[in-house]
Structure 1
């Protein structure tokens, strides 16, 4: 770390002034001091003001980014500095914002730390900000960039419930760092680079074509299966602290396919003798078979002693032809260029943290152009957390990701047994939840895609939860669906309510409380009154479930 300081802050010199102060501030919310905070420091002189913190001014930089601001009083401008990591530092200068600040000067006065203070008020992004400032010390400064020209701001109050208040004023001879190796960037670039430095981004796929073609080929890093409708790659995930936030995102656009399709971004568990990778590499018939007496065989959908099904990080549904079919113009409709699907998957931390995992993406389609997709995982670490580590047990996934390689549709709900899976716990688990994703399919008028159906969950033979999954907000996503068919009643196909999904959206999991589970064998059963076939049309349900417990 000392090497970094030497490289970045090559030129550091002290400026001595007759009037120079160090002001310390603490934050409070609803009248209570915020725990474990890094005190704000303002180093103020007649010519410069430095906004920094106690931690920044020490040499024990343990986390990045490190950010501070220097205000040039003579130029009425300020420069923001940020050390993003041990190899990169950036800066940007603003010569306009300070001059644009306006305040309503109010008659109230009060004393803070023995100094006479006046009051000013302003509105920022619908927030009411009150500033208490003193002119007693003949220097200006503030704990944020707001109010730097008022005087010395000793207290800021936002919306009456959040305060930054001075706790100490000390005479000081500040040294203002003048870094010489910072990369100077514009303000938007600075904000973007600073924001991205606050979390870890793991790119998984970039502009990956997901299509149906016998010309689809694997390469050194990405394996393609099911005629190109599945892409898989191995990804190394760093350690993730308990309580951290983990997000996955997929950006998708049509590359030829005009229809709404089921998509999945998933993990392939490989901790048992068999895995979904066996089916991908050796054919769907090598996967374990589930049967429930209806005469069909369902490949790789439930766990057993030697096999775990895939774990869906996120299930999403493509819209009708976004981007590729934007030429289908309608009055007052400006079509989206792509669709972003983004979801919090923090509950799956233990499957990802410090692991090298197979991660895949699938969009079921029969189009040679198909779809283009990019996918990332972002990790937003928390410094402290009381969240307890969890154990994750994959249970079932009837989403036939290998549809284009012969995997059977999830039609097992056409009899009373439905889907049933037994699992064994080697030790008791507390506060168990079932992470459950469900969507109904059957794309004609009486198909389960368009008919509400009750989902019932049973644990060890007893019903523990039931609900009817249904989405009524599909019309909100019309601008992502340029190729959606229009009907005589004035509606588009993408407007219609569906069984827990809409074209162009994510289907969020629900979490079903199962309580504490003892060591031993348990059974989970899912029952859905699946609709009957009509000619060649049939209904199916894509359900996936993961047990999470302490």
Structure 2
């Protein structure tokens, strides 16, 4: 599908007892040296219109209220359509695998002294038991990587289902309802809408819903100097106009993943270093290599997965509600300054 999506139909055995579901995703460059947004997803089975039917030319994204959503097609529910549900968000590193040979002419001299070797791939694992109901029996599971090169990336996904060994451990039934997904899987726009307005969607909660919570996955993008990728921006989630969660998605541990980024850009930065000389500790000015992959970012690093935020919706009642995502200080796209926010959220509850 469009050269950036792999989609596969899977069959899952029937389980009587409680089951734990783990997802393991493995990524390696096939020649693409850049960091790219990635998403493992499942097509909602109750959505007559989905990415597959759209790719096959059998359907289109539903018409939208352009005053409310501008040109952001397919990001919230519409006629016969539910947003795609993420199983894992990730970001590819710079060239892991293809450029990991220690004799590679591009990367061999970019490896810091504290890294023994470049890794051959990057792998992440998450518990996705809360989305088991989406995978039961048969489901379409896909991988999206926003690659624009001919070579692209190699990707594999493994789902592990572990059933309880306790005979009386009856399965806890859960349900999932997608609320929003701004990942531009196919024929969609870069989502910079948050620079101009919040996005609100409606949902209906059934009477039997218990332990209701919202899961929220977000990454900020805009790789230029001062772009939303590199500047902290507060996110605000609201239900029925009442704030339920406010936080600033940010990661400052990106240097920890240097071994997965052989093709990252490297600069030299001068600083005064303290070191052990012949007569003990002394200081002098040194030039130290600093990699692009080391820089802190809006909830991601090159070579990491993204863990969903979980917000308990205590006291929420059955019936109709609204859910709103607001990023008040988000910046718009401006020429080649591609600011945008990849946001997805879903409700999960126990029956």
Bin for the TM-score computed over the shorter chain: 0.7 to 0.9
Q: Identify if the C-alpha distance between structure 1 residues 295 and 356 changes in structure 2 by more than 3 Å, giving closer, same or farther.
A: closer
2:23–2:126: 8 Å Cα contact kept in structure 1? yes
Equivalent residue, structure 2, for 1:434 = 214
Q: Using the alignment, how far apart are the partners of 2:123 and 2:212 within structure 1?
A: 31
Shift of 1:317: 0.8
Contact 1:302–1:396 (CA under 8 A) maintained in structure 2: yes
Q: Structure 1 residue aligned with 2:183, among 380, 392, 399?
A: 399
Cross-structure match for 1:543: 343
Equivalent in the alignment of 1:376: 158
Distance 2:16 2:226 in 1: 47
Q: Does 1:350 align with 2:124?
A: no
Distance, in Å, in 1 between the alignment partners of 2:347 and 2:15 is 20
Task: Identify the residue that residue 199 of structure 2 maps to in structure 1.
Answer: 419
SS in 1 for 2:297: coil
> What count of residue pairs does the alignment treat as equivalent?
319
- What secondary structure does 2:70 align onto? coil
For 1:155-170, list aligned pairs within 5 A.
Answer: none
Runs of 4+ in 1 over 6 A off after TM superposition: none
- For residue 471 of structure 1, the aligned residue among 232, 243, 251 is 251
Indicate yes or no: 2:13 matched with 1:238. Answer: yes
Partner of 1:509: 308
- Cα offset for 1:290? 4.3
CA contact (8 A) 1:432 1:517 kept: yes
Answer whether contact 1:241 1:382 (CA < 8 A) is retained: no
In 2: Cα distance, 1:305 partner to 1:261 partner? 31
Deviations 1:389-447 (A, max 9, x none): 21111111111122xxx31112120223x211101234352221001100001111111
Residue equivalent to 1:323: 97
Retained in 2: the 8 A contact 1:438–1:544? yes
Conserved in 1, the CA contact under 8 Å of 2:193 and 2:332? no
Structure 2, unpaired ranges of 5+: 270-288
Is the CA contact (8 Å cut-off) linking 1:435 and 1:546 kept in structure 2? Answer: yes
Contact map agreement 1:240 1:349 (CA 8 A) in 2: no
Aligned counterparts of 2:70 and 2:35: Cα–Cα separation in 1: 27
Instruction: Give the match for residue 46 of structure 2.
Output: 271
Q: Is 1:250 matched up with 2:11? A: no
The higher relative CO (CA closer than 8 Å, separation ≥ 6) is in 2
Structure 1 segments unaligned to the other structure (5+ residues):
1-224
CA distance in 2, matches of 1:386, 1:514: 25
Matched, 1:494 2:276: no
**Can you list the C-alpha shifts for 1:266-287, whole angstroms capped at 9, x where unaligned?**
100131332232222228x811
Which whole-Å deviations, capped at 9, do the CAs of 1:495-534 have from their partners, x for residues lacking one? Answer: 0011001111100111111124333211100000211444
The CA distance in 2 between the partners of 1:538 and 1:363, in whole Å, is: 17
Question: Which of 321, 331, 345 is matched with 1:531 structurally?
Answer: 331
Work out whether residues 392 and 548 of structure 1, in 8 Å CA contact, stay in contact via their aligned partners in 2: yes
Structure 1 segment 182-201 matched on structure 2, within 5 A: none
In 1, are the aligned partners of 2:219 and 2:299 still within 8 Å (CA)?
A: yes
